[in-house]
Every structure is written in C-alpha cells, then in structure tokens.
Amino acid sequence: MPDVNPDYGIIMMNDTPLVSVIMNCYNGEKHLREAIDSVYAQTYLNWEIIFWDNASIDASAEIAKSYDGKIKYFYANRNAPLGEARNLALSKAKGKYLAFLDTDDLYLPEKLEKQVNMMESTDYAMCYGSAIIINEQGDELKKRYIKTKSGYILGDLLKHYNINMQSVMVLRSILLKNKLNFDESLSYSPDYNLFMRIASIASVCVIEDFIVKYRKVGGSLSEKSIDIAGVESKYTLEVLSKDHVLRDNYSKQFEHAYAKVNYYTAISFLNKNKRFDAISAVSKIIYVRIEYFFLLWLLLMPIPSKTIFKFLRG
C-alpha cells in the first residue's frame, strides 16, 4: 500500500528510495520542533531522520523522542567536534540519499521530492538549490538565488562557493565508493571540504527553486570563526591541488579561491587590530574582485577597524 501524507494529499509508493536526513544537535531546543516538523511536512514520504544528539543538556532529547519511529535517536556521551559528530551520524544512515538539516533551519515542503526526482533521472552525485535567509524570528531577510548550471561545476565553486548545506542531497554510494567523509581536523568548514571534493570527481545538480530556509544567527563572519576560515579554506584547496590535472585545468579558478583565503586573512588581521597586516594581505588580491579593492579602500580611510569589521560581518 502507498503512504499518504494527509496534510498535503501526496501519495508516494513504498518502493521509492530512502532518504536519510542527518540532524546533528547540540542544545538546539529553541527551533528544533519547527525544524523537525518541516521534514514531516515533506511531500516525499520515504525518509528517516538520523538524530545525533551531541551531548545536549537542554530539552533537545525530549523533543526528538516525542515523534514516531521515523526519527532514529542517538545520544553521544561526549560533545564531539562538528566533523566527527557528522561522521558518527552518517555511519547510522541507511538511505540511498543523504540530506542535512541543522536544528534552526527548515525544509520547504517539496525539497526532498524535487531532489529525489532529479537524482533518480540523472547520474548526478550531489544536488543543491536556492535558499531563503530568515532571522531568529523566522522573518525573511533575503533570498539566495543559485544561478550555477548543473554539471561539473568545480570551477564555478572555486570562483564563488554558493552551497548552503541544508539544501544538499548526496548519493551515499559516492561517499562509500571514494571513501569520503567529513574531515575531522576541520572545525569551521568540514562541509565545504567534503562538497568540494565531491564536485572535483562527479557532476552536480543545481536546482534553482528555493528549497530551504536558512536561519541567520549573528554575523556571517564571527570573531570566533574568522581566524580559522582562511586556514581551513587553504587546507581544502591544498587537498584539491594535489591533483595536478585539476590544478592545471582550473588554474584561473584556483587563483580566485586562493584570493578568498587572503581576504579571510585580511579580515582576521583587522579583527586583531593589525591594520597594516590587513592592508598587506588584501593589497595582493585587489585585481581579482572589486570587493577586495573596496576593502583596501576602506582600510586606507580613517575609519575605525572595529567599524569596518562589523560592516563586513553583515
């Protein structure tokens, strides 16, 4: 018998591919029920939630356990770094496809259906789409419309990385076949590292439709993360650069990506009030993008460093 979603009247046959939705949680009670409900509201019904409770001490466990058996709940005895926690959750997944949802973000109702239909009809290894940015209260701030064309898009991602993790769906076999997972040495960008490695070996589907809501909490460049953003981005680029064919074929695009590393380095110096070092870092890349030239102009103006840093954080 087919399953029926009574809220949407959508019928999905039981033999459709299983999607494992990975939810890593650490004290995420504030928006957790809303996030989980967005999965239960999907027009695509053959899914499981792998809920990895990373040693939360709030009401996250109580909320997750209040649902039915489609949530597979796992509790960690210690709080692990993000990359390790994501890998532990991945090890429990059974689905043909993997999706990801953090506890303060949301899926739009047709997210899984659209992606499964696309993945099943093509040979794409990964799929992602456009996102609506919301604030703490759920009000729309802006829309991040993805215009990248599907295919082998590593070059596009090197020039402008635009993948929102909540919008991603991955063919699990691509990870198993190539022994890929989240790099546990990274604390800021394990998702960037994994998705870039996938894009370096396989074709990627891009859905222009808005399929998720991403909740912006605080600034996009926090004081805590900005010091390691450049270091970890460079680490991923060095991993990719070990393939000399890739480096030769995408030399110009790698130049853009390494320029972004310099940008992060400049912002880190700015945050530490090392203005001269920030100027030195950004002056090397002003020919790459107009934004970097604008930053140099700001740094040369009599504007306090904290004011510039706050502006760049958005």
Rounded Cα distance between 270 and 305, Å, is 6
Banded pLDDT at 6 (limits 50, 70, 90): very low
Q: Looking at residues 87-105, what average pLDDT do you find?
A: 96
3-state DSSP of 193-231: HHHHHHHCCCCEEEEEEEEEEEECCCCCCCHHHHHHHHH
Say what the pLDDT of residue 223 is: 57
What is the secondary structure of the chain as a DSSP string?
Answer: --EEETTTTEEE-TTSPPEEEEEEESS-HHHHHHHHHHHHT-S---EEEEEEE-S--SSHHHHHHTS-TTEEEEE-SS---HHHHHHHHHTT---SEEEE--TT-EE-TTHHHHHHHHHHTS--SEEEEEEEEE-TTS-EEEEE---PPSBS-HHHHHH-----GGG-EEEHHHHHHHT----TT-SS-HHHHHHHHHHTTS-EEEEEEEEEEEE--S-SS-HHHHHHHHHHHHHHHHHHHTSHHHHHHTHHHHHHHHHHHHHHHHHHHHHTT-HHHHHHHHHTSTTT-HHHHHHHHHHHSS--HHHHHHHHH-
pTM, two decimal places = 0.91
Give the pLDDT mean for 182-203.
95
Tokens linked to 202: 């396989």
Give the pLDDT score at 82: 87
Mean pLDDT rounded to a whole number for the chain = 91
Mean pLDDT in residue range 116-120: 95
pLDDT the model gives residue 222: 56
- Answer whether residue 153 shows pLDDT above 60: yes
Contact 115, 169 (CB under 8 A): yes
Please state the rounded mean pLDDT for residues 242-266: 95
Q: Is the pLDDT of residue 4 over 80?
A: no
pLDDT at 12 over 80: no
Residue 10 pLDDT class (50, 70, 90 cuts): very low
Q: Provide the pLDDT for residue 60.
A: 96
pLDDT band at 7 (very low <50, low <70, confident <90, very high): very low
- In order of their start, the domains of the chain are 3-215 (3.90.550.10), 223-313 (no CATH)
Biggest CA–CA distance in the chain, Å, is 70
Work out the average pLDDT over 2-28: 70
pLDDT in tens, 34-43: 999 999 999 9
- pLDDT over threshold 60, residue 11: no
Q: What are phi and psi of 187, to 5 degrees?
A: -110, -20
Does residue 219 register a pLDDT over 60?
no
Rounded to the nearest 10 degrees, how much is the dihedral formed by the CA atoms of 251, 257, 262, 264?
A: -170
- The most confident of the ranges 7-11, 37-41, 74-78 is 37-41
